[in-house]
Structure 1
Amino acid sequence: MTGKVWFITGASSGFGRLMTELALRNGDLAVATLRKPEVLADLDDLSSQHGSDKLLRPQEIRDGFSEAIKKFGRVDFVFSNVGYSQIGEVEGVPEDVARAIFETNFWGAVNVSKEAVRVFRDVNKPAGGTLLQLSSAAGIKAYPAIGYYSATKYALEGISTALAAELGPEWNIKVIIVEPGNFATSGISNAVIVPPHPAYTRLTNPAAMMREWAKGDIANAERDAGKAVQAMYEIAQIPDSPLRFPLGKDAIQQVRDQTAGFLADTDLVASWSDGLDVKA
């Protein structure tokens, strides 16, 4: 067997489809999973997936990995990409709609991650593998009108960081949290858009402004998703890969802005912690 084995979720469109095509072009083997496997018949004619169609349930995830092991004997890279976007104010998104995006974006990714680690550690001979966890620049900085989407990515970053810290070094497992900015993918067409809450409809409201921006800049992003996937593919190959991988000039700037903001807030309130020691 030549080439590495990739296990890719959300392969019907966007980054998942592009990664599947790239891996195959490079001579690797790809196990591409999604909720409607019939659309994989022709990689040149993959259909978009929407909402709950992106949800990979635990048994389906286990079955997918089992098929990969049965056919190829191991899995070297897992690209955990399944998910969708959601637009709506925190006050305006119904609870069941908010919970649904967590089921897919957070719990779906968690279930993929756990199975990936098990396979990397217990099945692969020798042990090892790389988990590429697709987060978002919205997991670095939350914006109005995408609060629940951002919350899923914040949660995903937290659990992925904890997972990476738990891994035994002898297992030779790497976790890379990918935080792409605004790239030209089908993500906006897959978004669940909740009607605006009446209190947030004034055009000067930040949430309303974000909705208008989403109609334009997100849908017409100029950054090349294919080039982004090429960068993801390449960084997964290097031995000293980082835990976090902000990708795109906008994502880089968000990291810098957030870091500066955290430090400024910390400096502002640092004296409030003086004298809190028990023996002080």
Structure 2
Amino acid sequence: MSSSSRVWLITGASSGIGFEMARCALEHGDRVVATLRKPSVLDSFASAYSETQLILVKLDVTNPAEIKQAFQRAKEAFGRVDVVLNNAAYGVIGEAEAVSDDLARPMFEVNFWGAVHVSQEAVRFFRDENQPQGGHLLQVSATVGITAYPNTAFYGASKHALEGFSESLIKELPPAWNIKGTIIELGGFATGMTSAIQFAPRHPAYPVTDSIHHKIREVWETRPQDSARLLRASDPAKGVQKIYELTQLDNPPLRMPLGKDSVSFIQQFAAELTKSAEEYASWSDNIAYEVPQE
């Protein structure tokens, strides 16, 4: 193990992007703290590595005490943490009117508040525990955190909230701390995430149409194994290699779209927003607040 190898702490490492990122980092000679709610899920995978390369840590990101314990385990095992992949999340699908609080609120606890608490501990650890100071926080968001789609109102809202929090947090960090932050805008990837999607019952007031969004929901519900083909999904193993390359940049971007669909949707969103800003710019010309004269 090279003395220059980095230490990764990955949340949601049981499958998908989290699992592939752990495997990618290990293949590059880095060390990994893979966190997940049920560590036994990765026992077979972990058996191929020594504890000087990989440790599995139980972590439910809705439990702040377990977050702190996970970082402490990382310090005990490897002395520091260089990269945090804040990845744990799941989706709730359904029309905005159809999704109950009982479905939406637990998702926010994971996707937003869990990610917030991991981020706060990551920044504290990078600053106060690492010697020398520094680290890279990778916030795993999604294209729906930039531009929303039908049937993803609450999942998109959780990612929009994470976007706002993350951008503010990253911009607050003094350069002297040597802490970098990047929000990764994932497009569709052929992962096992579809098995973790929760579906609200269809709202009876909304017609079933031939739109792509209804077709995707139908496939997710009835033939999830076909969803990658329908979505023209990207390969997670290839995607995490790009994330790895991102962490090697001296000046990584604030946001990185990943996947052809993500790039296309975000470009379209940016063009439409710019068009509106230009078209209606004059509407703001004469609305300045006039300070009352005393």
- TM beyond 0.5: yes
Q: Deviations over 1:98-136 (max 9, x none)?
A: 111110001111011000000100000110000111001
1:108/1:267 Cα in 2 relative to 1: closer, same or farther (>3 Å)? same
Contact 2:182-2:254 at 8 Å conserved across structures: yes
Shift of 1:201: 4.0
Q: Secondary structure of the equivalent of 1:158?
A: helix
8 A contact 2:6–2:82 mirrored in 1: yes
1: CA distance, partners of 2:277 / 2:233: 36
Given that 2:186 and 2:262 are in contact with CA atoms closer than 8 Å, whether structure 1 keeps it comes out as: yes
Q: How does 1:131-170 map to 2 (within 5 A)?
A: 131-170=137-176
1:5 equivalent in alignment to 2:7:
yes
Q: Which residue of structure 1 aligns with residue 56 of structure 2?
A: none
Aligned residues: 273
**Normalised by the size of structure 2, how large is the TM-score?**
0.87
Identity rate, percent: 47
Instruction: Note closer, same or farther for the CA distance 1:55–1:119 as it changes in structure 2 (3 Å cut).
Output: closer
Q: Which runs of 5+ in 2 are unaligned?
A: 48-58
Instruction: Tell me, in whole angstroms, the C-alpha distance in 1 between the residues paired with 2:96 and 2:288.
Output: 37
Corresponding residue for residue 270 of structure 2: 259
User: Contact between 2:93 and 2:152, CA under 8 Å: does it hold in 1?
Assistant: yes
Amino acid at match of 1:8: I
- 2:61, 2:95 → 1: CA distance? 23
- Counterparts of 1:1-280 in structure 2, within 5 Å, are 2=3, 3-43=5-45, 55-204=61-210, 208-212=214-218, 214=220, 218-220=227-229, 221-279=232-290
Q: Take 1:37 and 1:240, find their aligned partners in 2: how far apart are those partners?
A: 34
Report the residue type matching 2:255 in the other structure. Answer: R
Give, in angstroms, the shift of residue 240 of structure 1. 1.1
After TM superposition, give the deviation of residue 163 of structure 1 in Å. 0.4
Contact 1:89 1:207 in 2 (8 A): no
Contact kept, 8 Å, 1:55 with 1:83, in 2: the verdict is no
Runs in 1 of length 4+ with deviation above 6 angstroms?
A: none
Q: CA deviation at 1:264?
A: 1.5
CA distance in 2, matches of 1:210, 1:54: 29
SS of aligned partner of 1:165:
helix
CA contact (8 A) 1:61 1:112 kept: yes
Partner SS, residue 249 of structure 2: coil
Shift in CA distance, 237/63, structure 1 to aligned 2, threshold 3 Å: same
Q: Distance in 2 between matches of 1:55 and 1:120?
A: 19
Is there any run of 5+ residues in structure 1 with no aligned partner, and where? 46-52
What is the rounded CA distance, in whole Å, between the counterparts of 2:13 and 2:215 in structure 1?
Answer: 32
Contact kept, 8 Å, 1:144 with 1:206, in 2: the verdict is: no
* TM-score, normalised by the number of residues in structure 1: 0.91
Deviations 1:73-117 (CA, angstroms, capped at 9, x unpaired): 100000010001111111000012111111000111101100000
1:156 aligned counterpart, secondary structure? helix
Aligned counterparts of 2:287 and 2:94: Cα–Cα separation in 1: 41
Q: 1:230 to 1:120 in 2, by over 3 A?
A: same
- Identify the range of structure 1 (261-270 vs 155-164) with the bigger mean alpha-carbon deviation: 261-270
SS at match of 1:187: helix
> CA-to-partner distance for each residue in 1:130-168, whole Å, 9 max, x for gaps?
011100111121000011111111111110000001101
Which stretch shifts more, 198-207 or 85-94?
198-207
Distance change (3 Å), C-alpha of 1:87 and 1:54:
farther
Asked whether the 8 Å contact 2:134–2:177 carries over to 1, the reply is: yes
Q: Give the whole-Å Cα distance in 1 for the aligned partners of 2:243 and 2:69.
A: 26
Distance 2:116 2:290 in 1: 42
Rounded to whole Å, the distance in 1 between the matches of 2:154 and 2:209 is 21
The 1:205/1:91 distance shift into structure 2, 3 A limit, reads farther
Separation (CA, whole Å) in 2 of partners of 1:279 and 1:82: 48
Deviation at 1:267, TM superposition (A): 2.1
DSSP 3-state at the match of 1:121: helix
